[in-house]
């Protein structure tokens, strides 16, 4: 992933479903996985896939041309 303008990054994050943007923000802030699962009301076994999905969606959002 290329270095991204912070505004573009923030805009891309905001374009994601709430659970995905929240998972990425909390994970980047160093919050423990089980605490994030508690916030998101998901089972711990689903966290890895959720994070994977959130990152992929973020990459897609970042790769879209800004309008």
The site for other proteins (CB under 8 A) is made up of: 15-20, 40, 42-43, 45-46, 48-50, 52-53, 56-57, 60
Query: Which residue's CB is nearer to other proteins, number 18 or number 28?
Result: 18
Query: d(Cα 57, Cα 50) in Å, to the nearest integer?
Result: 10
Query: Which residue's CB is nearer to other proteins, number 31 or number 40?
Result: 40
User: Contact 50/42 with Cβ under 8 angstroms?
Assistant: yes
Query: d(Cα 25, Cα 35) in Å, to the nearest integer?
Result: 13
Query: Which residue's CB is nearer to other proteins, number 10 or number 52?
Result: 52
């Amino acid at each position: 992933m290329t270095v991204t303008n912070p505004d573009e990054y923030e805009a891309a994050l905001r374009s994601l479903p709430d659970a995905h943007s929240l998972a990425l923000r909390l994970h980047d802030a160093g919050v423990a996985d089980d605490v994030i699962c508690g916030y998101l009301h998901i089972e711990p076994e689903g966290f890895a896939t959720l994070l994977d999905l959130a990152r992929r969606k973020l990459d897609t959002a970042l790769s879209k041309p800004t309008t």
